[in-house]
Amino acid sequence: MNLSQEQWWDGSQNDTEAVILDVRTAEEWNDGIIPGAIHIDIYKGQAFIDELESLDKAKNYYVYCRSGVRSGNACNIMGQLGFANAYNLSGGIMGWTGPVVQPEGE
């Protein structure tokens, strides 16, 4: 499900079951992240699937990438894997006006 920035951020901050998921590359991740994000690079192929499978499927995932395309794909994959809720940030971090921080070492 695609959400506007406001819906996505409000949801991620007010949902006790929320997990923010960044599916960009390591280089993009190092340019700055939305606070609290975890990182799983969608370009890792099977490793991406394997890492998703290790997550709690009952939680609510707020997913983003650079423009919203990869995170939209990630949400679809998550749905196929049985995740209850995966929310895509429309426009990705390129259109993000909320907080961005430098990631601590992965």
Active site residues: 65
Query: How many C-alpha atoms does 51 have within 13 Å on its Cβ side?
Result: 15
CB 92 within 8 A of CB 66: yes
CB 21 within 8 A of CB 37: yes
Give the DSSP letter of residue 20.
E
- Structure tokens that stand for 31 in this block: 């340019």
